[in-house]
């Protein structure tokens, strides 16, 4: 029994050490406008394999993503953001997904929706 616990403990320490090695952090500039955008982007990233966590700062519009570089690439992360309707660095938002966004989530230079800005 004692050996089992020891083995398990060593296993978990090993897993933690491995995780520490496979963690990268990246900051991606997005076109997020409000809290809903933040939720939408963070939720989309949560579904991506290899993404540990993401946090979007609405002031800078930058999303900080902690990910496993062996499982996902920065390009794939940007693509996931684009697919829900937002620009990610130089990658343009998917036009169809962008159209589906609520008015308040569209870009400020989109004249039709300017009055909804907060
Ligand atoms: Cu929004």
Report mean pLDDT in 10-residue bins for the chain, 118 residues.
78 70 94 97 98 98 97 98 98 97 87 50
CB 81, CB 30: distance < 8 Å: yes
CA 29 to chain centroid, in Å, comes to 11
For residue 40, give every residue at least 6 positions away whose Cβ sits within 8 Å of its Cβ, in sequence order, or none: 84, 85, 86, 105
User: Ligand 1: distance of its center to the CA of 50 in Å?
Assistant: 25
User: Ligand 1: distance of its center to the CA of 107 in Å?
Assistant: 9
The pLDDT value recorded for residue 81 is 98
Distance CA 14, CA 23 (A): 15
Whole-prediction pTM:
0.77
User: Ligand 1: distance of its center to the CA of 43 in Å?
Assistant: 13
Tokens of 111: 């004249």
The pLDDT value recorded for residue 3 is 77
């Amino acid at each position: 029994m004692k050996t089992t616990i020891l083995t398990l403990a060593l296993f978990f320490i090993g897993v933690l050490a491995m995780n520490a090695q496979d963690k990268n952090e990246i900051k991606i500039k997005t076109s997020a406008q409000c809290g809903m955008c933040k939720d939408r982007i963070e939720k989309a990233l949560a579904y991506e394999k290899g993404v540990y966590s993401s946090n979007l700062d609405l002031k800078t519009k930058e999303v900080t993503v902690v990910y496993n570089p062996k499982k996902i690439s920065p390009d794939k992360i940007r693509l996931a953001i684009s697919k829900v309707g937002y620009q990610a660095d130089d990658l343009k938002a998917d036009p169809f997904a962008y159209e589906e966004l609520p008015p308040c989530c569209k870009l400020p230079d989109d004249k039709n929706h300017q009055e909804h800005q907060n």
